[in-house]
Amino acid sequence: MAIATINPATGETLKTFEPLNDVEIAAKLDLAGLAFEHYRQTSFVERSHWLKAAADILEQEKAEFAKLMTLEMGKPISAAIAETEKCALVCRYYAEHAAGFLADVSVKTDGSNSFVRYQPLGAILAVMPWNFPFWQVFRFAAPTLMAGNVGLLKHASNVPQCALAIEDILQRAGFPQGVFQTLLIGAAKVADLMADDRVKAATLTGSEPAGASLAAASGKQLKKTVLELGGSDPFIVLESADIEAAVVAATTARMLNNGQSCIAAKRFIVAEAIADKFEKLLLDKFLALKVGDPMQPDTDLGPLATPDILQDLHQQVQAAVASGGKVLTGGQPLGDRPGNFYPPTIITDIPQDSPIAQEEFFGPVALLFRVPDIDAAIKLANATPFGLGASAWTTNDQERDRLITEIEAGAVFINGLVKSDPRLPFGGIKRSGYGRELSIQGIHEFVNVKTVWVK
Report the candidate in 300, 397, 297 with the shortest Cα–Cα distance to residue 343: 300
Going from the C-alpha of 433 to that of each of 244, 387, 444, the distances in angstroms are 33, 8, 17
- Distance of alpha carbon 408 from the chain centroid: 19
Closer residue to ligand NAP in complex, CB, 120/410: 410
Vertex 137: Cα angle to 134 and 138 (nearest 5): 80
Least distance in angstroms from the C-beta of 281 to ligand NAP: 27
Closer residue to ligand NAP in complex, CB, 360/408: 360
Least distance in angstroms from the C-beta of 162 to ligand NAP: 12
Q: How many CA atoms lie within 13 A of 413 on its CB side?
A: 24
Least distance in angstroms from the C-beta of 128 to ligand NAP: 6
Closer residue to ligand NAP in complex, CB, 50/94: 94
The question of whether 228 is a catalytic residue gets the answer yes
Three-state DSSP state, 25: helix
Contact 202, 125 (CB under 8 A): yes
Least distance in angstroms from the C-beta of 278 to ligand NAP: 25
Q: What sign does the CA torsion over 357, 363, 369, 374 have?
A: positive
Least distance in angstroms from the C-beta of 92 to ligand NAP: 21
Catalytic residue from among 262, 279, 399, 437: 262
Closer residue to ligand NAP in complex, CB, 247/320: 320
CA distance 253 to 60: 28
CA distance 382 to 304: 28
The question of whether 87 is a catalytic residue gets the answer no
Closer residue to ligand NAP in complex, CB, 262/275: 262
Catalytic residue from among 72, 83, 167, 228: 228
Residues that bind ligand NAP (CB under 6 A): 1, 127-131, 154-157, 186-187, 190, 204-207, 210, 213-214, 228-231, 262, 360, 362, 388, 428
CB-based contacts of 157, cutoff 8 Å, min separation 6: 1, 2, 3, 4, 186, 187
Which positions are annotated as active-site residues?
228, 262
